[in-house]
Every structure is written in C-alpha cells, then in structure tokens.
Structure 1
Amino acid sequence: MGIQSKVLVIESSYDACAEAVARVFSAFPQEIKGKNVVVKVNALRACNPDREAIVTHPALVKAVIDKLVTMEPRRIIVGDSVGTESYGKSRTVFDATGLAEAAGPYYRNLSQNLKVVDVEKPFRRKVAVLKDVLDADVYISLAKMKTHGMTMLSGAVKNNYGLLVGAQKSWYHFYSEKPELFAEILIEMYKLKPPDLVIMDGILAMEGYGPCSPQVRWVNKVLASTDAVALDAVMGHMMGFGTDEVPYLRLAGESGIGQTDLEAMEIEGDYSPIKGFNRPVVMPESTFSYLSGVGGGKTSRAFFADRVCLRPVITAENCPPGCAACTDACPSGALKAGKPPVLTSSQCMLCSACMEACACGALQLTPDPSLRGEI
C-alpha cells in the first residue's frame, strides 16, 4: 500500500473512553465541519452491554457523538442493521441495549432507507444496503472486538457486512457453504464503502464462539485506524490468530485493499497477545454449520433456511387507512399498495425494511413453508 497503515491501541475503560476518543481524532484527523457524518455501530441483538460483548457499548458511542458535535458537522446519523435473531426489530435492539439513549436525537433506523446495488462476488446478485452509509461524507465505524465461530473474527471489516440488511445476511450464510467463499461477500461489502475511520470497542471483548458468545474478557482497550483490514489483523494477533487463519484477512491481503502484515504497519500501544484468550479453535463445517452463541450453540442449514424463507405476513385489520409505510420502504417493489398490501414473493429481497417501517404491528416476518422445497 502507498501509505503506511497506522493502528492505535489505547488503554481505556467505559468511564474514561472520552479521553481515548479524543486521542483517536488527534491521531486520525477527520474533516467534519459542515459534513454529513454517519456513525455505524454493531447492534447485533438485544443484550446487556455491561455484561455481554455483543454490541458496541453505549458509553463509547456517546463519547464519539459528543466529540463529533464539537466539530460542527452538518448532520450526524447513528444506526445499524440488526442481526439474525432480530430482523425487522432495529428500534427494539437499540432501546434494549441503551444505544438509542446514547445516540439521542441522532439515532436513525437505517434499515428504512435502502439502495439496491449490484455485487459480483461470490454470486452476481442485487442487494439492498444502507443508503445513509453510502451517501455519507464521513463514515465512522464503531466496531466491537468479537470472535466468530465461522469467520474467526468479527471486527472492523465484518462491521461493514451490516451494510446488508435483514435476512440477506442469512442468504449468504445459506448459499456460500465454504468460508472462503463467504469471505468474498465480506470483502465486497467492505469495498462498497470503506470507513473513513474505525474505532473499536475492545474494552469488554468477546471470547469463545461468537458472534453471540456469553464468554467475555476485560481487555480494556480502544483500537482505531483508518485501515479496517490492518485493525483486524492487529485484533486477530491479540486474540492469537495468524492472518492465514482468517479467510477474509487472507483475501484482503491478496487483494491489496488493506494491510495485513504487522511488520509493515505503524502500531502505537500494547498489542501483545492476550494471555489465555479463548479463541475459536474448532473449524466451521460450513457457512451455515458452526459453533456459535446463535441458534442454541450451533447453527444449522435449517436455521438459515428459515430465514431465507422469511416473507412479510400482513394483518389487514391492523393496517390504518391510507398507510403506505411498508410499500414505501420496500426497495424492490415486491410490496404493492392495497389493503392489505400485496406481496410478489419472488421479488422480495429479504431486507426486512417493510417490518422496520410498520409502526402499527400489522406486519410480521414469517418463514413461508412453500419456499422450503425451492431452496
């Protein structure tokens, strides 16, 4: 790479993370004044962030927002698209984790404003992604230091997988089969909109088989970089991984989209391996079958098949007269206006935007049994 990648590793705590955030913005200056800034957190599912390392901690989110406000941006937007167990329930997850309170007036349900784009790998396909992130002048990713039973790491690069909305994420788990193939969609989503700055919550980190492992480790560090690949390589080193053990890092290095060689980086702070860190050691059987805190300890083909078959089911009597929230949110035109709205199932992109937009409880996402024989 032309410019040497720098990674900052700062000793910190949730009580003192504002100091760490100030150091990050000093080390990696950003042109914020007058800009539209989007802050994407990791909001996988509802949890207690003081005891579980599943989401970016609200204290760090609040510290970043407070810093940004002093830099006079034109607008700040904070949000995410939620994970496997929470499709269509972004606001619920943000409320339950304290992220909505931390974001305050800057919170936005990003899953209601989507853009359809083409991706080439691992399959040529149209996908619906977070338009607010794509349109941002400055994109800041607040990742979480986590493990993953299939990708080994879930950090800065994988936080960009959250640009994909709803059960589209499960679609790639179901159809990729090989982790090396799944790595390609992670890289595609990263290249779609690389963050201008990544700040990683490594204060309370995840051990075991993530992304929802109950095992945690107080690492007490905030990591940061403008190169998400380099940051993940450093995080992986701290967890005890070599780059070759993480398919998406190996692919990123081969593709030249980020630095994976620690010797070629400028690393400030203590990034030595964490003694006794419980990293994943059992390799995944496939992209749909691996040890995980999701799905009762181990995911399965059926687990992801149910999500690939999700379709909106609408209760007509709960639809207010004239409401078009779900049809307006649908990026593919799969839902047409009516009472209730009419679904063309084959056009559904699995994005969950319809349920995110429905404020009257008229719409739920339910597996369609008739589709199981088609996948």
Structure 2
Amino acid sequence: MKTAKVSIVKVADYNSEEIYTALKRNLSLLGGLENIIKPRSKVFVKINHLSPPSSPDDAIVTHPYFTKEVLRLLLELNLEITVGDDVQSKEKDGFLLSGYRKVCNDLGVRLINLKQRGFREVICNGQILKKVLISPLLHEADYILNLPKLKTHSLTVFTGAVKNLFGIIPYGLRLDYHRLYKQSDVFSQMLVDIFSCAPPHLTIMDAIVAMEGEGPSGGSPKRVGVILASQDSVAVDAVASKIVGFNPMNIFTTQNAHERGLGTGEIEKIEISGEDISDVEVRNFKHSAVAIGFIKRKIPSFLHGFIQGQLTLTPKIILNKCALCMECVDICPKGAAKLDGDLVWIDRSLCIHCMCCHEVCRFQAIKLRQRPLGRIFREV
C-alpha cells in the first residue's frame, strides 16, 4: 500500500517561466496548492541558505530564482509570507550575495535572519534531544513550507528536506551539536529530533542543479534537472536520494525518520507521479567519500566503532587555495583551525572531525583526508 506521494517534474534550468510552469504541474499532481495551504494563511518558508553567504551559482543554497517562483504561487493565494534561515555572516546583510534580498524586496515578501527574532525552547522528546531552541516563527505560522537543495554531505552522506530543518536552531547550538554528536548515525538521529519539532506541511526540493562530491559546500554543481514536491518530507528525501544513486534506507536521516513514523522512506511505498525515477536518474553522480551508512550494514555491529574511526575524515588546508577569510577559524567549535602568521592550519590533536570548517569554506581550500584503512573499507 502506498503511504506517500511525490511528484517529479523536469526543468532544464533556472528560467523563471519554466520553473513556474513546472511548479504548477508539481502541485497539481498533488491536488493543487490551494488544497494544501488555505488562502490568507500565515506561511513560513524555510530556505537552505548555508553560512557563510555564497553565490547561487555555487549550488550551495536553494536557488533564489527557484524560490521566487514558489513565492509567486504563494502570493496568488493572498498569503502572509515570511522567508527565513539562520545565517551567520560577517556582512551586515547575509542575504545580499545570494540574491535573496533582491528577490524578496521585488516581491514585497518579508525575509528574515532567524537570529533577529531569537529562539524559544520547546520540548522535543527525541531520541537524542529532550528539548531544543527553535525559531518561534515556525510555530507562529499556520503552515511550514520547506525548500531544500539536493546535495551530498561529508558527514550525513546526503542532505535534503529533513536536514534543512537544522537551520531553525541557533548557529551556536548547531556548533555544539556538531561537537557533541560526531558519529554520522547519532548526528542524524539528532537531526530527525529537530525535524520532529516542526514537520513541514509541504516540501518542494530544488534539484535543478544539485551538489555532488564533498557537499554541502565543498562539492561541485551537478545538473539533475528536476523539481520534487510532496507533503511528506521524508518521501522527498527518499526519492531524491534514489535519483542520485543512493539506497534511500541507507541514509540515516531517512531510515530513522521512517522508523519513527515521521514519513515514508521506503521507495516501494511511495506513489510517484509525473516523471518515472528511471527516466531522471543521474548515473554518474559523485557521492561523498563518507560511506558510513553503507559500510555499517556490511559488518558486525561490534566492529562498527573501529570501522567508523577508520572512516573518519581529517581536514587539511590547501594553502594555495586559502583566501585567509577566517571562516574556518571562526566556526571551529574546538579551536582546532588556527591562524599562524599568514597561514591557517588544523591542529589534529584538537580536531573532532565535525566537518564545520569544510562546510563553510567557499574556496574549496579544505581537503578531507582519510586513513589508509578507511579508503580500503570504503571500497568494500
């Protein structure tokens, strides 16, 4: 029996009218936007605007042209709209470089850095978290609309709809959680805990140009050419990960959310409308070097800790690419990224392998190195 529905529509590029037409079809396949979100309601739109700010051409953020067309559709329903993410930026306005400030100003839509409103503690009752700080904007809205970007991830292997909700908590708390929950499976359980506090009513994924390789910021743009939509965020992640060559239930966030009844992660239980997965699969999509989700299922559990230790990646600065922007030094929760004169280096004795430095580097100046045994295990 099918328990979720995901629509897939092809889109060649970020041409506004083509996106608008595709979105209309995506939503009509789900029964129409007006049957999901009631007119004249309050809607919070959660974009993926990874810190520090970057150009949309880098495929790090949900593309502003994609979001613009979603907002056009929302405005047709006379909705009160707030677009936001928690953005850490040295610039006064962290939404300028990405183009989000212009898009929202042009449409007359409110755009807010979540830290401007502060955060409120809520009971979580999760597997890892029992309480957490989240933006009050989500609970003040009648509907939450999730607009993730399809990307690989050097810690969680894949990032999409579920992980996009990580941005509703404060920047400092995100650093703490990276420090506390270093293992991929435990970190993913924590992500699902946060997701469970504010599950979106509708998810529309920007998979027109995704990120492959060492995402979520150090990878390379890769054209996938689709938009996915569903009222089930977990199902969106399952279908998206399948399109780019993963077994969805090997993605810890998808598996954990499915097992907790927060959505459908098993492909055979998802009704696909629009395009068939087989017609849009990207067969040469590069995955992150971290393959813990796959390895764990091939070895006895008592060996998993040792194997995961070998799979741990250690960041190294590529000096001829380093721009001395200091983002890695500022973000490191343990002070392992250090400035020595005009050189940045990683103190391996302090590094906890949280990947924060790699995540914020916009210049691909941080390479992730794996131990020799880890490289062997990855090929198993």
| TM surpasses 0.5 | yes
Which residues in structure 2 correspond to 1:110-129 (within 5 Å)?
110-113=114-117, 114-124=119-129, 126-129=131-134
Shift in Å, 1:118: 3.2
> Do residues 55 (structure 1) and 61 (structure 2) align?
yes
Distance 1:52 1:270, change over 3 A: farther
Return the alpha-carbon distance in structure 2 between the equivalents of residues 140 and 27 of structure 1. 17
What is the match of residue 262 of structure 2? 257
Shift in Å, 1:121: 3.9
Return the alpha-carbon distance in structure 2 between the equivalents of residues 182 and 40 of structure 1. 21
Which secondary structure does the structure 2 equivalent of 1:147 belong to? Answer: strand
Name the aligned partner's letter for residue 303 of structure 1: C
- TM-score of the superposed pair, with normalisation by structure 1: 0.72
Check conservation: 2:179, 2:333, Cα contact below 8 A. yes
Check conservation: 1:118, 1:127, Cα contact below 8 A. yes
Name the aligned partner's letter for residue 215 of structure 1: S
Picking from 273, 288, 301, the partner of 1:280 is 288
Which secondary structure does the structure 1 equivalent of 2:95 belong to? Answer: helix
Shift in Å, 1:148: 0.3
> Do residues 11 (structure 1) and 2 (structure 2) align?
no
Distance 1:261 1:244, change over 3 A: closer
Check conservation: 1:80, 1:162, Cα contact below 8 A. yes
> Do residues 92 (structure 1) and 110 (structure 2) align?
no
Return the alpha-carbon distance in structure 1 between the equivalents of residues 163 and 173 of structure 2. 15
Name the aligned partner's letter for residue 18 of structure 1: Y
Q: Deviations over 1:155-190 (max 9, x none)?
A: 011111111121211111111122111112111111
> Do residues 34 (structure 1) and 35 (structure 2) align?
no
Shift in Å, 1:89: 5.5
Distance 1:131 1:48, change over 3 A: same
Q: Deviations over 1:212-258 (max 9, x none)?
A: 02411111111111111011011111121113421111211211211
Picking from 239, 245, 262, the partner of 2:250 is 245
Q: Deviations over 1:103-126 (max 9, x none)?
A: 223212222222122334454554
Which residues in structure 2 correspond to 1:126-205 (within 5 Å)?
126-205=131-210
> Do residues 305 (structure 1) and 309 (structure 2) align?
no
Gaps of at least 5 residues in structure 2 are: 293-307, 323-327, 337-380
What is the match of residue 353 of structure 2? none
Which secondary structure does the structure 2 equivalent of 1:108 belong to? Answer: strand
Check conservation: 1:211, 1:293, Cα contact below 8 A. no
Distance 1:276 1:110, change over 3 A: same
Q: Deviations over 1:261-301 (max 9, x none)?
A: 11111112132331211012433657x9647899999x99x
Return the alpha-carbon distance in structure 1 between the equivalents of residues 199 and 235 of structure 2. 13
What is the match of residue 375 of structure 2? none
- TM-score of the superposed pair, with normalisation by structure 2: 0.72
What is the match of residue 44 of structure 1? 50
Return the alpha-carbon distance in structure 2 between the equivalents of residues 67 and 279 of structure 1. 33
Q: Which moved more, 1:257-266 or 1:19-28?
A: 19-28
Distance 1:306 1:26, change over 3 A: farther
Gaps of at least 5 residues in structure 1 are: 308-375
Shift in Å, 1:66: 1.0
Count of aligned pairs between the two proteins: 297
Return the alpha-carbon distance in structure 2 between the equivalents of residues 138 and 294 of structure 1. 42
Q: CA RMSD in A?
A: 2.8
Shift in Å, 1:65: 1.0
Name the aligned partner's letter for residue 56 of structure 1: T
Check conservation: 1:205, 1:217, Cα contact below 8 A. yes
Shift in Å, 1:195: 0.7
What is the match of residue 80 of structure 1? 85
Q: Which moved more, 1:232-241 or 1:102-111?
A: 102-111
Name the aligned partner's letter for residue 10 of structure 2: E
Name the aligned partner's letter for residue 14 of structure 2: Y
Q: Deviations over 1:132-154 (max 9, x none)?
A: 11221011111101110111111
What is the match of residue 101 of structure 1? 102
